[in-house]
Structure 1
């Protein structure tokens, strides 16, 4: 018998290393963005450190993706 627990499976939190190539214009924009952030009181931020929070914010703000993810997770949960 399997206990009905409130906490489900824990997500895999291990980082995944990726190597990407950016267009020079995008890299320059990321450098500028990092310098502009520094004007708010921090040190300049390297472009690579900006990519993860930017992608997280982009995905969190995409309502179409959020709806599709919920629907997909519901279908998956219904199969279990």
Structure 2
């Protein structure tokens, strides 16, 4: 068999993380979920569903972090 383009799959099993948020940040997340609802005509999105996507987008937009990852190490 020839070499495969995909050699291994990353473990994408969800990891449960518990953290304490400042009350103001939680209120903002609730409001953000309501804003998504208003824009899309659906029900409000829970903060727990917003946080992973916000973190993913933040890290993807951090140029220093992305450059560091491309070099194979921490940012």
Sort the TM-score into its range (normalised by shorter chain). Answer: 0.7 to 0.9
The two structures have a TM-score, normalised by structure 2, of 0.86
* TM-score normalised by length of structure 1: 0.81
SS in 1 for 2:56: helix
| Partner Cα distance (1:29, 1:6) in 2 | 43
Q: May I ask how many residue pairs the two structures share in their alignment?
A: 71
Query: How do residues 1-80 of structure 1 correspond to structure 2 at under 5 angstroms?
Result: 4-40=3-39, 41-72=41-72
Query: How well do the aligned residues superpose, as a CA RMSD in angstroms?
Result: 1.3
Between Structure 1 and Structure 2, the one with more helix by share is 1
Alpha-carbon offset, residue 5 of structure 1: 2.5
Point out the structure with max Rg over C-alpha.
1
Q: Which runs of 5+ in 1 are unaligned?
A: 74-80
CA shift for structure 1 position 8: 2.0
Partners of 2:8 and 2:15 in 1: CA distance: 19
The SS at the match of 1:42 is: coil
